[in-house]
Every structure is written in C-alpha cells, then in structure tokens.
A and B are shown apart, each in its own frame.
Chain A
C-alpha cells in the first residue's frame, strides 16, 4: 500500500509522526531554553531570546563538584562496559563454539537468570559489599554490574551464526586459534560488539537505584545520584535544575546520535527470541 498511499492518508500519517515528535522532544527543548534563562523568568510561558546566558551552568558547576561527578560516572561506566563486553564475548564464544562439560547447564542458568528481577538481589548484594568494605567505593560500584546475561546471550547468538568455515580457512593458512580469534573473528564481530558496548554504557550511565544506595559521600556521587540530590535543594532555581538535567542527559544523547544505528539494532534484536 506504500506505492499509492492517498494524499489524505499521507497527511494523517505525517500529522501523527510530527505530533509525537513534538511530544518526545518538547521537554528537552523547553528544559534547555529554561536552563539559559534568568531565574526570575524561568516559569514564564513566553519566548524571549534577549537575555539568555550560561550563567545557570556556571553557578551550578561552581557550587557543586560536578566535574568530580562526571569523572566518577565516566570511570564507572567505562569500567563496567569494558569488563562486561570482554567477559561476555569470551563466554559467548565458548558457549557457541567450544564443546565443554557443563556447557548446556551454564547456558540454561544464564537464560534463567534473566528472569530474576534486580530487586531480589539488591539486599544481599548490599550486605555482601558492606561486609567486605566495598560500600562507597569504585569496586562496589563496578564489579556487581559487570555480569549481563543479555550481553552473553547476544554474543553467543552472534558466534552461533558466524560461519565456522572462515575460522577453519584461517587455521589452514597457519594462524593459531588465538590469532584467528583476534584477527578474523573479532573484526567481524564489530556490529554485535558495538551494540552491547553501547547498551552496557547506557545502563551504567543511567543507573540510579543501586548507586544511590551504595554511595554515602558527595565525592563519590555519580551524575544521576548527584543530580537527584540537587533536585530538592535547587527547587527555587529551575534554570539551574534544568541545567543539571541537560548536563546529565547530554553525553548519552550525543553517544546516541553518533551510534544510533547500533542502539536501534540493540533494541530490535532484544525483541527477537530464541
């Protein structure tokens, strides 16, 4: 029906699409606009471009250690992502390609674990980290979040569909097993790897519940935890709160715009079962 879509139909389709685009983007655009306005004008419903400035950002950054929160968020998200992607790839490869005792049991466990909601592990995880002194530390904010069943599953699916003949050919050409893995398999796994990298990074960057629980001092705040603490404090400075919301969401939006194809792949492939 695409070839001869009638004009009224087209208008309806565009109206729906544009309408929702406005709904999706308006909060950001207005929040950004507000973050540039003076405090006393923040609640006004008008469009006045005369006295915009970055002073809300400056005030917010001067009064709070936001650079430190950025640093914490980056260290944590990058570590979780690198460790997670590396370990998931190793496991995914083994589960797809190597015949070893207990393989099926492990794979069933990984599938089963996907059904365990995070809330049931939250309390014992906290007790465990507390017992070993990892509350309010980078280790405590990184290590428990490295395991990701979905990433392992996804890498396994990728390696299952990867033609074994390619590897055999490389081995016949004299490459070692490890050489084959790094020189032939990994470069071809780039799309799958990019997808899980981005999904892990986003999960870690936006993570709130557990970090909010595990962080006890301001110098360890990640951006979401820090911004949540400002929310109540800066209630009468909406321009600064909105500046905070922008500082928190901007990095993720930029990453998304650059890698949007891989995000979309990540979402759609998570919808495919088996």
Chain B
C-alpha cells in the first residue's frame, strides 16, 4: 500500500513538471503538424474559411504541375548541393588547421563564429551592400579587368550570392563541431602512424576522415536540413518575391507566398507536406548510409 502511494506521488510530481512542455508541444507542434496534413487536402482560403472544401489530392496535383514549384525545388536542391559539400569541406579544413596547437585559438574561434550569431537580415544587408553593382566587390574585381555585374539583380548570380552567404554564416558552427571531434581522437593514433611512415596527407584521409565520420554525418544532415529550409536570405535579397526571374525562389519562399500572399492555406500546406517528406527521407537515407549500413557491414566482416 505504501509502495503504491509512493508511485502515485512520483506520477503527480513528474506530470506537474512535464505538463507545461507537453501542453506547448501538443498545441504548437504536434497539433499543427497533424492539422497541416488535413489542410493539405482542402481548398482553404484564409479570407473565406467558411467556404473550405475537401478536394482530395488536387493541391498536390497542381503542385506537381506548377512550373514555379519546379523552379523552387530546382533552386533549393541546387543551393543545397553546392552549399553542403563546400561548407563541410571548408569547416573540416579549418578545424584541422585549428587543431594544430597554434597560437591565437580563441581569436580564430571567435572570428569564425561571429557570422553564425549574426541575424540573417543583417548579414543579407551587408552582402547586398558589398555586392551592389557600385559596391566594393565589383570595384575590386574591376582592377583585374572584370566587368561590373549586378549580383543580386542578375538571375545568373543571385542564387550563387545566397550560397556564398549561407556558407559564410555556417562554417563557424560546423568547424566547432569538427574541432570537438578532432580533439577526441587520441594523439597516439597519429604517432603510431607517423612511426610507420604514413605521410600527413595519408594520415588525414585514412585516420582523420574515417574517425570523424559521425561528426561529418551530423554536419551534412544538419546542413541539408538547414539549406532545404532556406528562407531568410532569399526573402531579403529578393524583397520577398524570389526574383530576379524566380532565380531565388526557394521551396519555403514559394510556400510563404502561396499561403500568405495568395491566402491559399491548403495549397501552402501541401507544399509543407512535400518539404517534410523530402527532409524526412533524406534524414533517414543519411542515417542508413552513415549508421545502419556501416554497422551491418562491420558485423558481417567480423
């Protein structure tokens, strides 16, 4: 009997402590996520909610046919495919350099991480200023005979500029993740390799890279998820419209403009569901290739 009342007390205490976060999670995350699925099968205009109708897969069909959505998807993937490998490579390089017991560690870490604490709005306005047609980047390049280009007004350069901004603001964070991983690798591993006459480059590729694979997978997955959700920079450099000529329309910007510009909440939800499925699939694939498959191969080998 006493045992039971003690368990009862624990239940009460536990639930009192977790209740607020559980309530917030249900109301603002789980509920909306489920609701979103339902909404994606409806024609729902924000201004005329009473006229909402259930239309099965019509939103999805329209979405798959819309060339603007294709463009948004293409831009987002292009952005992700360039940004993720480049930022991962740069941050790994910097982390390896920073791990060489050099002086000024704190300065470098602070310098690299400052872009990461900066609001995307502030960094976008700085880049727009530097890369303005009359801006100093063009003036500098003119010294080498380059013709000034209007970076974010030219469909050829607007997305690359956004990529540059993303890389610039993420490298600091990822470098710290890699550095933490490098510091976990015991020095003896390298010493043993050195005695065996392994060159520094080989040590990097045969020791550092494999031992860091878990960190790499984290950095790559977080990087992909982040880039697929790109919004702030695209919104600011294009003034919200995703131009020039749709070259900076990302999936999230497309969603935003459909849902809140055209008041089509059902259609916007269908976009959100597609994005969710893409992100979820990628995460699972990454997990499989970096965690499940290596373990299985390991077991087979053993």
The answer to whether A and B belong to the same complex is yes
Whether A208 and B28, one on each chain, are in contact in the complex, defined by CB atoms closer than 8 angstroms, is: no
The yes or no answer to B86 lying at the interface (CB within 8 A) is no
Q: Which residues of A contact B242 (CB under 8 A)?
A: none
B residues 190-212 touching A (CB-CB < 8 Å): 190-191, 194, 200, 203
Is B29 an interface position by the 8 A CB rule? Answer: yes
Which residues of A lie under 8 Å from residue B268 when comparing CB positions? Answer: 123
Q: Quick one: given A106-B22, A267-B177, are A93 and B39 in contact (CB under 8 Å)?
A: no
Q: Is the CB of B102 within 8 A of A121?
A: no
Query: How many angstroms between the C-alpha atoms of A99 and B219 in the bound complex?
Result: 34
A253 within 8 A of B: yes
Partner of A206, one of B120, B200, B272, B276: B120
Residues of A contacting B181 with CB < 8 Å? 271
Q: Are B22 and A202 in contact (CB under 8 A)?
A: no
Query: Does A101 interact with chain B (Cβ within 8 Å)?
Result: yes
Interface assignment of B78: CB less than 8 Å from any CB of chain A = no
Bound-state Cα–Cα, A56 to B7, Å: 65
Docked complex Cα distance between A202 and B118 (Å): 9
| CB of A120 within 8 Å of the partner chain | yes
Establish whether residues B119 and A101, one from each chain, have CB atoms under 8 Å apart when the complex forms.
no
Question: How near does chain B come to A145, taking the closest CB pair, in angstroms?
Answer: 8
A231 to B11, CA, bound (A): 53
With A100-B14, A231-B236 known as contacts, the answer to whether A209 contacts B32 (CB < 8 A) is: no
Q: Which of B61-69, B122-130, B293-301 lines the interface with chain A?
A: B122-130
Q: Which of A22-38 contact B (CB under 8 A)?
A: 23-25, 27-28, 30-31, 34
Q: CB-nearest residue of chain A relative to B136?
A: A45
Question: Are B125 and A241 neighbours in the complex by a CB distance under 8 Å?
Answer: yes
B20 engages A27 (CB within 8 Å): no
Say if the beta carbon of B239 comes within 8 Å of chain A. yes
Is A10 located at the chain interface by the 8 A CB criterion? yes
B interface secondary structure, majority: helix
Whether, in the assembled complex, A232 has its beta carbon less than 8 Å from a beta carbon of chain B, the answer is: yes
* Residue from B12, B117, B132 in contact with A263 in the complex, judged by beta carbons closer than 8 Å: B117
Residues from chain A with a CB closer than 8 A to the CB of B176 are: 264, 267-268
A208: chain B residues within 8 A (beta carbon): 119-121, 231-232, 235
From 140 to 162 in chain A, residues with beta carbon under 8 angstroms from any chain B beta carbon are 143-144, 146-147, 149, 152
- Render A202-227 as a binary contact track against B, CB cut-off 8 A, 1 for contact: 10011011001100000000011001
Residues of A contacting B130 in the complex (Cβ-Cβ under 8 angstroms)? 27, 30-31
| Distance between Cα atoms of A99 and B283 in the complex (Å) | 32
Cβ–Cβ contact B136 & A117, under 8 A:
no
Known contacts A27-B123, A124-B39, A273-B218; decide if A253 and B118 are in contact (CB<8 Å). yes
With both chains docked as a complex, state the minimum distance between the C-beta of A162 and any C-beta of chain B, in angstroms: 15
Residues from chain B with Cβ under 8 Å of A5 in the complex = 100-101
Complex CA–CA separation, A154 to B17 (angstroms): 16
Chain B, interface size category, equals 35 or more
- The listed residue (A95, A123, A244) touching B269 by CB distance below 8 A is A123
| Beta-carbon contact of A242 and B126 below 8 Å | yes
A13-B97, A87-B20, A213-B260 as given contacts; A125 in contact with B126, CB under 8 Å? no
Say yes or no: B36 contacts A109, CB within 8 Å: no
Chain B residues with CB under 8 Å of A118's CB are 229
A249 contacts chain B at the CB level, 8 A cutoff: yes
B111 interface residue (CB < 8 Å to A): yes
| B:206-240 near A, CB below 8 Å | 214-215, 218-219, 225, 229, 231-232, 235-236, 239
What are 14 A-B contacts with C-beta separation under 8 Å?
A1-B203, A20-B111, A94-B14, A100-B10, A117-B275, A120-B33, A121-B33, A121-B36, A122-B32, A147-B29, A208-B232, A224-B121, A260-B106, A271-B215
Closest 3 A/B residue pairs (Cβ): A100-B14, A124-B32, A94-B17
**B interface residues (Cβ-Cβ under 8 A, vs A):** 7, 10-15, 17-18, 20-22, 24-25, 27-33, 35-36, 39, 46, 90, 93-94, 97-98, 100-102, 104, 106-115, 117-130, 132, 134-136, 139-140, 168, 171-173, 176-177, 179-181, 187, 190-191, 194, 200, 203, 214-215, 218-219, 225, 229, 231-232, 235-236, 239, 252, 255-256, 259-260, 265, 268-269, 272-273, 275-276, 279-280, 283
